[in-house]
């Protein structure tokens, strides 16, 4: 169903923009926003499958981008590793408070959203942090596509061919029963938040090579973009068995198409947003699987 | 005397393609306690929930005191004099006792849109006192009370306004001995005041003891209505199942040989507030029954043995492997299986399919070098579901669609798949119809023959006597007696040690 | 003795004691560190006035959070209702300002509630979409403002709610209204019932859809009141897009957390008001300590996390998502 939504959207906007969105330059621009979104959505997909939420992803992206920009002069790969470690630490922080103290995930991650964002702003008080020229020279489309494909493929393989994927769905569908069947909900949930942070840390690499310098507001709103993207892709908000990997791919693509096409059809930014909101509501109303949601909250 | 207060004419209920209630026409007399029995899926709960406004009627009608009944919700039913005490939890956490009892019926305390809370609390307290429940405080949040007290409050809620007909649906299984006595007292009182009680239960001896007449439903249709003093349990079972029930329901062997080899050794096991200092050995090929009243702690014991308790002290050892079990993953890995009394929350994951449920505990052994293949998992699940004869549309069916008996079969299928050696079965046949019960007993005997060992925790005394090699009785969290399998063993022997 | 202690611990006196204790603690902490810039009686009055606007929003939020719902469009409402109020004030003075804010709030609440109950989409998601729509509408409304400085309240005669006593009067009225609703109407009971177990509530004949709708209307009505205070304090409002209005969601939400945490003591309204005051204390304390404003967010997050950890923990063995 989300696939049809995606194709339908592309068709509609192709017509409205008289085919402009299909020209290579526009496609490339559209894709430029998809990489970070899709990679970060992979992590949040796992979190949402177990029934949680994460509002701190944008702040994590900002902070890990700073880490990368700092470390990368000593080596690009080292920088990536450092960013991933930093992201993992932040994710683990989220996971710890959520699992150990049993605080609702949306509350914990709203708090850490502020926490990490504050650090971001503090570290950029004296101005944006720039990446080295060597890093900027890496801003090649083929590289970004390659990296994104690798990450997504790894994610796909792990979720479908290891027990993690099965555990995630079982824990999302019925945590207590899953525990009595041998799953380890606390450990798995903790790990999933850590992974999500780590994955976003990797995405920061792509983010930095694209924007070049990091300001205090780097990555802001990413968490809401991820939420919208996944939902557009058909992801059930409570997770569980109906979560599908395709939610990540079609969701991110659909979101990016929207983002790129709207300005071409509606030049006024307020109108763009209005249309975006209406399309979002329509798509969700049509694609949401109401049968598996026993209670709609 | 034999005035008909309520009757149904050709009542039907369809859930999609399922024809749950078929053309049921029944009569209920004023002042009688009318038992309603049948296997799972026989339609008894659905019939009563249509009467009570919880479900809509597909066709047919109910006639109360000569007038047709039109109710669209529980509150409307209440206003017409019909009420029901449901099987599940019927009270709401976060609200006070008074708010719970008067939920939906606050109008007598309303002045316009303003609510007189103080008055509501006062009246509730009076009510509770009149039922002998003055230990319960009307203005306290209901969360502070035990499950059983909450059930009693629910019973007050369903009966205080003098309804004409009260349905009591499978409530006794949730209550302790004391709670059941209080419930039967209330039923007696209702009878004395010429009210009608529809009593649904799987406990046939209870139904025979407390009802005037019994109606048997099978596959959604009425089989027969009989007078309680003219039938016995076997006759009822025959009516429920529709064929001569095999006498070999339970085990029939009494030679009593059990191996000396100890497979599981429990030492000084305690969980504060639940049970204390429990020690016993389980031998190979043994079926060890553990019995007692609902709150004696045996259910928590089962959970604790499997590793599912917090605050557990003492030890659970597997002497053959020289290992101690401290967590659920460990227990599963070393061959222990567990079915919980709370099947829907603790044994089976309702919102995933049968295949995932069956394969979940076995994922680590099914993985070759950590890789799992869907086709292999499905084949695995299919073969074990077939072995247990699960009635399903396919292994990709979601479990919440299945009946209680079939859900239990799925749970057992998963442990067969794991090839567990030690089975801790808590209330394995609770809420399950007679046919599936027989299947489960047969499975237990088969496992025993294959050298597997079973701990069976049960509140059904006949089950314990019929199936166990040894029975341990618990009372108030401690051990209170042992019995060995014997033809001479009676229910009274066990009950003496339980209460 | 133990019985009395445990009963006290569950009573509302304990709740008050905890809250006042916290407030006192933070006041003392910052006062000692920065005696002249913080916590003087004049400054305390400022803190109070700042916090009551968020508390009003927090009260509204409480109604739906208690039912397990959420609303991401509160910030967008504040912006839109403020601008509508400003627009109407050009023609109708105070009547326009007040009516504009409150009416706009109520309409938004009805709209939200309607979409939620009709489309049957989870509240978190549907309100994200609504936020996008409301922000855009706000941008259009600004364009309709004929005044020289669109969106700004430059006339000093329209700023009564900017200071005492009118801001207090508005806020206290809102608090009293909420307390009244919770105590003397069925709404409080029904909202709790729906939040506890929607199925059972429905079986009891409670029209769940109707009460969820009412919850949204109440929420946004209260947010409309908050908008009145906010636009008066800020002497105007700026329209934003790009989901930036979400930043305004969180200060009221913090108060709501206090309300939910202290629900079991039976005093949610007080908890929200005092809680917002405590948060304002902390912020101003940091400013007084010359902590760079960039670290503001960090401290917000940290303090909130600590408070929630101490008050909102789940029971052992429970499932928390």
Mean pLDDT score of chain B: 86
Over residues C34-81, the pLDDT tens digits come to 888 787 888 888 889 999 999 999 999 999 988 988 898 999 999 999
C199 touches chain A (CB under 8 A): yes
- CB-nearest to C128 from A112, A224, A290 is A224
State whether B268 and B413 are in the same domain: yes
- The set of residues, in sequence order, having a beta carbon less than 8 Å from that of C5 and lying 6+ positions away, is none
Residue B124 in domain: no
Q: How far is C243 from chain B (nearest CA, A)?
A: 34
B73 neighbourhood in chain C, CB within 8 Å: 203-205
Task: Judge: B351–A173 Cβ closer than 8 Å, yes or no.
Answer: yes
* Whole-angstrom distance, CA of residue B97 vs CA of residue B131: 14
State whether B223 and B320 are in the same domain: no
Residue of C67, C111, C305, C312 for testing the chain A interface, max A β-carbons within 10 Å: C305
- CB-nearest to C204 from B75, B93, B110 is B75
Q: Helix (H, G, I), strand (E, B), or coil: what is residue B483?
A: strand
Residue B157 in domain: yes
| CATH code for the structural domain at A25-289 | 1.10.3470
Inter-CA distances, C148 with A145, C79, C143, C236, Å: 50, 19, 11, 13
C131 neighbourhood in chain A, CB within 8 Å: 277
C314 touches chain A (CB under 8 A): yes
Handedness of CA B468, B469, B474, B477 (dihedral sign): negative
A176 touches chain B (CB under 8 A): yes
Average pLDDT over residues C156-166: 83
Structural domain total, chain B = 2
Task: Judge: A170–B329 Cβ closer than 8 Å, yes or no.
Answer: no
A101 touches chain B (CB under 8 A): no
Mean pLDDT: which of A72-76, A243-247, B22-26, B157-161 is highest? B22-26
C36 touches chain A (CB under 8 A): no
Residue B107 in domain: no
Task: Judge: A240–B372 Cβ closer than 8 Å, yes or no.
Answer: no
State whether B46 and B184 are in the same domain: yes
* Whole-angstrom distance, CA of residue B483 vs CA of residue C220: 67
Q: How far is C151 from chain A (nearest CA, A)?
A: 16
* Whole-angstrom distance, CA of residue B451 vs CA of residue B189: 52
- CB-nearest to C320 from A102, A122, A276 is A102
> Any idea how long chain B is?
499
Task: Judge: C301–A102 Cβ closer than 8 Å, yes or no.
Answer: no
What is the reported pTM?
A: 0.81
DSSP string computed for C170-217: HHHHHHHHHHHHHHHSHHHHHHHHHHH-HHHHHHTT--HHHHHHHHHH
Minimum CA–CA partner of C71 in chain A: A297
A183 neighbourhood in chain B, CB within 8 Å: 360
B95 touches chain C (CB under 8 A): yes
On the question of pLDDT at C252 being above 70, the answer is: yes
Q: Where are the alpha helices (DSSP H) in chain C?
A: 2-10, 12-33, 41-65, 74-119, 123-144, 166-184, 186-196, 198-203, 208-233, 250-261, 268-288, 296-311
pLDDT at A104: 84
Find how far residue B326's CA is from the centre of its chain.
28
Q: How far is A261 from chain C (nearest CA, A)?
A: 16
On the question of pLDDT at C319 being above 80, the answer is: no
What confidence category does residue C137 fall into, taking pLDDT thresholds of 50, 70 and 90? very high
pLDDT at B490: 78
**Token output for A192:** 């999933």
Over residues B85-130, the pLDDT tens digits come to 987 777 888 888 999 999 888 888 888 888 888 899 999 999 898 8
C113 touches chain B (CB under 8 A): no
Minimum CA–CA partner of C240 in chain A: A270
- CB-nearest to B103 from C193, C264, C317 is C193
What confidence category does residue C316 fall into, taking pLDDT thresholds of 50, 70 and 90? low
Inter-CA distances, C5 with B122, C11, C16, Å: 25, 10, 16
What confidence category does residue B36 fall into, taking pLDDT thresholds of 50, 70 and 90? very high
CB atoms under 10 Å from CB of A82, counted, come to 20
Average pLDDT over residues C188-205: 86
Mean pLDDT score of chain C: 86
On the question of pLDDT at B430 being above 80, the answer is: no
Q: Helix (H, G, I), strand (E, B), or coil: what is residue B2?
A: coil
**Token output for A4:** 């049809």
Please name the residues between 236 and 275 in chain C that touch chain B, using a CB distance below 8 Å. 263-264
What CATH number did the domain enclosing B194 receive?
3.40.50.300
Q: Are C230 and C82 in contact (CB under 8 A)?
A: yes
Minimum CA–CA partner of A238 in chain B: B351
Average pLDDT per consecutive 10 residues, chain A (297 residues; last block may be shorter) = 73 76 76 89 94 92 92 88 96 95 87 90 86 78 88 92 90 90 93 96 90 83 88 81 87 86 82 86 74 57
**Token output for A152:** 């997504």
Average pLDDT over residues C261-268: 82
State whether B207 and B160 are in the same domain: yes
B25 φ, ψ (degrees, to nearest 5):
-120, 115
What confidence category does residue B317 fall into, taking pLDDT thresholds of 50, 70 and 90? very high
- The set of residues, in sequence order, having a beta carbon less than 8 Å from that of C266 and lying 6+ positions away, is C11, C12, C15
- Which has the closest alpha carbon to C221: C151, C170, C165? C170
pLDDT at A54: 93
Average pLDDT over residues B165-194: 86
Over residues B259-306, the pLDDT tens digits come to 889 999 999 999 988 899 999 999 999 999 999 877 788 999 999 999
Which residues form the domain of B467?
Answer: 262-498
State whether B227 and B271 are in the same domain: no
- The set of residues, in sequence order, having a beta carbon less than 8 Å from that of B236 and lying 6+ positions away, is B37, B204, B207, B208, B214, B216
H/E element, A265: helix A246-265
State whether B236 and B380 are in the same domain: no
- Which has the closest alpha carbon to B56: B8, B89, B91, B15? B15
- Which fold, C14-312? ABC transporter involved in vitamin B12 uptake, BtuC (1.10.3470)
> Any idea how long chain A is?
297
C193 touches chain B (CB under 8 A): yes
pLDDT at C320: 73
> Which other chains touch chain A, taking contact as 3+ CB pairs less than 8 Å apart?
B, C
- CB-nearest to B346 from A177, A240, A292 is A177
Backbone dihedral region for residue C39 (phi beyond 0: left; psi -120 to 50: alpha; all else: beta): left
On the question of pLDDT at B244 being above 50, the answer is: no
H/E element, A10: helix A2-16
Largest interatomic CA distance in chain A: 57
Q: Are B37 and B236 in contact (CB under 8 A)?
A: yes
CB atoms under 10 Å from CB of B135, counted, come to 9
**Token output for B488:** 């001479």
A174 touches chain B (CB under 8 A): yes
* Whole-angstrom distance, CA of residue B104 vs CA of residue B101: 9
pLDDT at B41: 64
Q: Are C231 and C76 in contact (CB under 8 A)?
A: no
* Whole-angstrom distance, CA of residue B48 vs CA of residue B200: 9
On the question of pLDDT at C202 being above 70, the answer is: yes
pLDDT at A293: 54
Over residues C90-107, the pLDDT tens digits come to 888 888 899 999 999 999
Inter-CA distances, B39 with A110, A165, B240, Å: 50, 38, 7
Q: Are A239 and A48 in contact (CB under 8 A)?
A: yes
The residue assigned the tokens 């049809």 is: A4
- Which has the closest alpha carbon to B92: C24, A247, C204, A29? C204
pLDDT at B27: 93
Domain boundaries, chain A: 25-289
- The set of residues, in sequence order, having a beta carbon less than 8 Å from that of C141 and lying 6+ positions away, is C80, C83, C84, C87, C239
Task: Judge: C205–B73 Cβ closer than 8 Å, yes or no.
Answer: yes
B429 φ, ψ (degrees, to nearest 5):
-115, 20
- CB-nearest to C192 from B73, B94, B310 is B94
Task: Judge: A173–B352 Cβ closer than 8 Å, yes or no.
Answer: yes
- CB-nearest to A103 from C132, C246, C309 is C309
- CB-nearest to C205 from B93, B94, B104 is B104
> Which other chains touch chain C, taking contact as 3+ CB pairs less than 8 Å apart?
A, B
Q: Are B357 and A173 in contact (CB under 8 A)?
A: no
* Whole-angstrom distance, CA of residue B189 vs CA of residue B129: 15
On the question of pLDDT at B246 being above 50, the answer is: no
Residue B186 in domain: yes
């Amino acid at each position: 169903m989300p696939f049809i939504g995606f194709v339908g959207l592309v068709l509609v906007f192709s017509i409205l923009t008289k085919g402009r969105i299909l020209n290579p330059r526009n496609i490339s621009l559209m894709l430029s926003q998809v990489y970070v979104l899709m990679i970060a959505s992979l992590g949040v997909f796992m979190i949402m499958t177990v029934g949680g939420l994460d509002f701190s992803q944008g702040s994590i992206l900002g902070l890990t981008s700073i880490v990368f920009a700092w470390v990368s002069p000593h080596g690009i790969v080292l920088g990536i590793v450092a960013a991933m470690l930093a992201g993992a630490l932040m994710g683990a922080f989220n996971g710890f408070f959520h699992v150990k103290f049993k605080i609702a995930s949306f509350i914990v991650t709203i708090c850490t959203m502020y926490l990490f964002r504050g650090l971001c702003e503090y570290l950029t008080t004296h101005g944006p942090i720039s990446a080295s020229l060597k890093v900027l020279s890496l801003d090649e489309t083929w590289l970004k596509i390659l990296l994104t494909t690798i990450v997504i493929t790894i994610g796909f393989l792990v979720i479908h061919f290891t027990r993690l994927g099965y555990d995630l769905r079982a824990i999302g569908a019925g945590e207590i029963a899953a525990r009595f069947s041998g799953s380890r909900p606390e450990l798995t949930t903790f790990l999933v938040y850590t992974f999500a942070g780590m994955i976003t840390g990797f995405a920061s690499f792509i983010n930095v090579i694209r924007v070049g310098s990091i300001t205090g507001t780097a990555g802001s709103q990413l968490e809401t973009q991820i939420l919208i993207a996944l939902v557009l892709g058909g992801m059930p908000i409570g997770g569980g068995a109906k979560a599908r990997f395709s939610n990540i791919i079609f969701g991110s693509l659909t979101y990016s198409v929207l983002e790129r096409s709207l300005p071409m059809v509606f030049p006024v930014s307020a109108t763009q947003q209005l249309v975006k909101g209406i399309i979002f509501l329509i798509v969700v109303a049509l694609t949401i699987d109401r049968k598996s949601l026993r209670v709609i909250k | 005397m034999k005035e008909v207060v309520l009757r149904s004419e050709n009542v039907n209920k369809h859930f999609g393609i399922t024809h749950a209630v078929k053309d049921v026409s029944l009569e209920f007399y004023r002042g009688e306690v009318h038992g309603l029995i049948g296997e799972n899926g026989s339609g008894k709960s659905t019939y009563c929930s249509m009467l009570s406004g919880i479900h809509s009627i597909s066709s047919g009608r109910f006639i109360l005191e000569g007038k047709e009944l039109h109710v669209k919700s529980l509150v409307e039913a209440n206003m017409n004099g019909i009420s029901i005490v449901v099987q599940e939890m019927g009270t709401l956490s976060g609200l006070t006792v008074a708010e719970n009892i008067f939920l939906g019926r606050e109008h007598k305390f309303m002045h316009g849109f303003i609510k007189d809370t103080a008055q509501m609390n006062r009246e509730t307290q009076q009510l509770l006192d009149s039922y002998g429940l003055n230990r319960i405080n009307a203005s306290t949040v209901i969360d502070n009370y035990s499950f059983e007290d909450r059930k009693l409050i629910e019973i007050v809620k369903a009966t205080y306004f003098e309804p004409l007909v009260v349905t009591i649906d499978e409530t006794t299984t949730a209550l302790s001995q004391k709670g059941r006595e209080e419930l039967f007292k209330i039923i007696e009182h209702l009878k004395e005041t010429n009210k009608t009680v529809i009593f649904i239960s799987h406990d046939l001896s209870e139904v025979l003891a407390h009802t005037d007449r019994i109606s048997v439903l099978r596959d959604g249709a009425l089989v027969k209505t009989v007078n309680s003093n003219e039938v016995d349990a076997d006759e009822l079972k025959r009516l429920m199942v529709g064929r001569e029930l095999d006498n070999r329901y339970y085990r029939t062997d009494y030679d009593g040989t059990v191996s000396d080899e100890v497979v599981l050794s429990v030492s000084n096991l305690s969980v504060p507030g639940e049970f204390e200092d429990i020690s016993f050995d389980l031998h190979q090929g043994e079926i060890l029954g553990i019995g007692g009243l609902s709150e004696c702690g045996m259910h928590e014991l089962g959970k604790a043995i499997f590793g599912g308790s917090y605050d557990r002290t003492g030890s659970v050892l597997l002497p053959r492997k020289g290992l101690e079990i401290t967590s659920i993953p460990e227990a599963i890995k070393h061959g222990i299986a567990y079915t919980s009394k709370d099947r829907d929350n603790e044994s089976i994951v309702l919102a995933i399919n049968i295949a995932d449920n069956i394969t979940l505990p076995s994922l680590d052994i099914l993985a070759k070098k950590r890789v799992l293949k869907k086709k292999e998992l499905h084949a695995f699940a299919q073969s074990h579901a077939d072995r247990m004869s699960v009635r399903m549309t396919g292994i990709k069916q979601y479990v919440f669609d299945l009946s209680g008996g079939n859900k239990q079969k799925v749970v057992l299928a998963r442990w067969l798949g794991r090839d567990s050696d030690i089975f801790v079965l808590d209330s394995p046949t609770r809420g399950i119809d007679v046919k599936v019960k027989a299947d489960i007993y047969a499975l237990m005997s088969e496992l025993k023959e294959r050298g597997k060992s079973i701990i069976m925790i049960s509140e059904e005394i006949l089950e314990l006597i019929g199936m166990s090699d040894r029975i341990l009785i618990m009372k108030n969290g401690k051990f209170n007696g042992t019995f060995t399998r014997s033809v001479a063993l009676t229910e009274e022997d066990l009950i003496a040690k339980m209460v | 003795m133990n019985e009395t202690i445990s009963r006290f611990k569950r009573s509302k006196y304990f709740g008050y004691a905890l809250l006042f204790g916290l407030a006192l603690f933070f006041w003392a902490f910052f006062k000692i560190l920065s005696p002249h810039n913080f916590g003087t009686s004049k400054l305390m009055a400022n803190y109070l006035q700042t916090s009551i606007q968020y508390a009003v929003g927090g009260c509204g939020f409480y109604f739906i959070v208690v039912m397990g719902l959420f609303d991401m469009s509160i910030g967008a409402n504040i912006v839109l209702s403020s601008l509508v109020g400003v627009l109407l004030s050009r023609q109708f003075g105070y009547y326009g300002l007040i009516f504009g804010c409150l009416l706009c709030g109520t309409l938004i609440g009805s709209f939200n509630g309607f979409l939620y109950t009709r489309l049957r989409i989870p509240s978190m998601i549907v309100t994200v979409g609504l936020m996008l729509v409301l922000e855009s509408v706000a941008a259009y409304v600004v364009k309709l403002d004929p005044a020289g400085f669109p969106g700004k309240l430059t006339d000093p005669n329209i700023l009564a709610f900017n200071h005492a006593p009118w801001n207090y009067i508005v806020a206290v009225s809102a608090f009293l209204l909420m307390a009244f609703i919770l105590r003397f109407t069925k709404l409080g009971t029904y909202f709790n019932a729906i939040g506890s177990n929607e199925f059972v509530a429905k079986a009891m004949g409670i029209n769940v859809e109707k009460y969820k709708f009412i919850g949204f209307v109440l929420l946004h009505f209260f947010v409309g009141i908050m908008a009145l205070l906010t636009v008066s304090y800020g002497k105007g409002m700026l329209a934003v897009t790009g989901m930036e209005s979400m930043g305004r969601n969180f200060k009221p939400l913090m108060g709501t957390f206090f309300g939910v945490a202290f629900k079991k003591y039976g005093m949610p309204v007080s908890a929200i008001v005092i809680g917002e005051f405590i948060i304002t204390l902390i912020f101003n304390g940091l400013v007084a300590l010359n902590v760079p404003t960039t670290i503001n967010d960090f401290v917000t997050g940290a303090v909130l996390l600590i408070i929630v950890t101490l008050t909102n923990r789940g029971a052992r063995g429970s499932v928390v998502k």
